[in-house]
């Protein structure tokens, strides 16, 4: 009975995300066709301003799909949010999408357990984290999670699935997995909002700062082998 429910749930999620991706592609592609030109960028901005709540739902849907399938890159969605709603508006929309999607996945994992996770994440990675002493150390778990989500460039969405198996309270996990993404998301929304106006220098500086911060943090982590190994191997 449980296996049948799992199969139905997996099929439903797959079909839902597939339909969303098709709809988003149909709607977004014509808008992006001329984005390289100034006239095209103005047209894009006009389309978004006239789309109202549909533009917000579009970004939320893309964020939902991207987190559910960790193999999908998150950067294009974050850039798009910055283009559509500016730096801070994009940040707010993305935070909303991340929180809602993480909440859904977290409680699906709590309900169905490891069987649900291995649909989207390799069983080897799940077992590695699930059996890790470091990841099950209640004193270190919050630090590990924070660093995993905080450092730009690290794969984050695998930990959204693992969260339901870790010894941490739901509200703590949801807050860390949402708000610790700040450097990654804000750099993308800044780049996205400036991409709309062709401010390439600002975009370049933004990513240089982001990569510098990542490099410094990773250098510091490498001086703490136990923590570095726990994060980087996943």
Per-residue pLDDT of the chain (234 residues; tens, 9 = 90+): 556 666 676 677 777 777 766 776 666 666 555 666 667 666 666 776 677 777 788 778 878 878 877 777 777 888 888 888 889 999 999 999 999 999 988 888 888 777 777 777 777 777 777 777 777 777 788 888 888 888 887 777 788 888 888 888 889 999 999 999 998 899 999 998 888 777 889 989 988 988 888 878 777 766 665 555 555 555
Where is 179: in which H helix or E strand? Answer: helix 170-179
**pLDDT for 94:** 93
Q: How far apart are CA 105 and CA 109, in angstroms?
A: 6
Q: How far apart are CA 217 and CA 234, in angstroms?
A: 17
**pLDDT for 214:** 82
Structural domain that includes position 64: 2-232
Domain count, the chain: 1
**Region class of 199: left (phi > 0), else alpha (psi between -120 and 50), else beta:** beta
Distance from first CA to last CA of the chain, Å, rounded? Answer: 32
56 three-state secondary structure: helix
**pLDDT for 118:** 73
**pLDDT for 186:** 92
Q: What is the chain's Cα-based Rg?
A: 19
**pLDDT for 100:** 92
**pLDDT for 142:** 85
Contacts of 97 (CB under 8 A, 6+ apart): 59, 60, 63, 64, 67
**pLDDT for 40:** 67
């Amino acid at each position: 009975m449980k296996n049948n429910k799992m199969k139905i749930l997996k099929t439903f999620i797959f079909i839902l995300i597939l339909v969303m991706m098709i709809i988003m592609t149909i709607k977004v592609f014509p808008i992006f066709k001329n984005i390289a030109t100034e006239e095209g960028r103005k047209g894009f901005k006009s389309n978004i301003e006239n789309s109202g709540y549909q533009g917000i739902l579009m970004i939320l849907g893309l964020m939902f799909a991207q987190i559910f399938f960790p193999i999908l890159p998150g950067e294009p969605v974050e850039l798009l949010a910055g283009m559509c709603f500016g730096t801070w508006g994009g940040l707010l929309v993305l935070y909303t999408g991340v929180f809602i999607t993480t909440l859904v996945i977290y409680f699906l994992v709590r309900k169905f357990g490891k069987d649900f996770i291995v649909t989207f994440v390799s069983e080897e990675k799940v077992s590695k984290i699930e059996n890790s002493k470091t990841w099950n150390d209640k004193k270190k778990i919050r630090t590990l999670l924070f660093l995993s989500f905080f450092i730009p460039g690290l794969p984050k969405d695998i930990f959204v699935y693992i969260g339901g198996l870790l010894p941490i309270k739901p509200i703590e996990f949801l807050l860390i997995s949402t708000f610790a993404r700040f450097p990654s998301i804000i750099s993308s929304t800044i780049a996205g909002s400036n991409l709309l106006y062709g401010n390439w220098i600002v975009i370049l500086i933004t990513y240089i700062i982001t990569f510098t911060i990542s490099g410094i943090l990773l250098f510091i982590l490498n001086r703490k082998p136990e923590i570095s190994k726990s994060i980087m191997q996943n």
